[in-house]
Amino acid sequence: MFQFNYKLKVAERVKAKCERHPRYNPEREGRGGIKGGCSTCFSLFDLHQARLSLDAAHREFLRRATPWSQLRQPRNRTSAPKQKDPPFGSQPL
Q: Note the residues at the interface with Zn ion (CB under 5 A).
A: 18, 20-21, 38, 40-41
DSSP category for residue 75: S
Shortest Cβ 48–Zn ion spacing (Å): 13
Tell me how far, at minimum, the Cβ of 42 lies from Zn ion, in Å.
8
Least distance in angstroms from the C-beta of 47 to Zn ion = 13
CA distance 86 to 91: 8
Of residues 29 and 55, the one with the C-beta less far from Zn ion: 29
Q: Shortest distance, CB of residue 49 to Zn ion, whole angstroms?
A: 16
Q: Count CB neighbours of 41 within 10 A.
A: 22
Question: In terms of CB distance, is 28 or 64 closer to Zn ion?
Answer: 28
Q: Measured from the CB atom, is 47 or 62 closer to Zn ion?
A: 47
Amino acid occupying residue 87: P
- Nearer to Zn ion by Cβ, of 20 and 31: the residue is 20
Contact between residue 20 and residue 38 where contact means Cβ atoms under 8 Å apart: yes
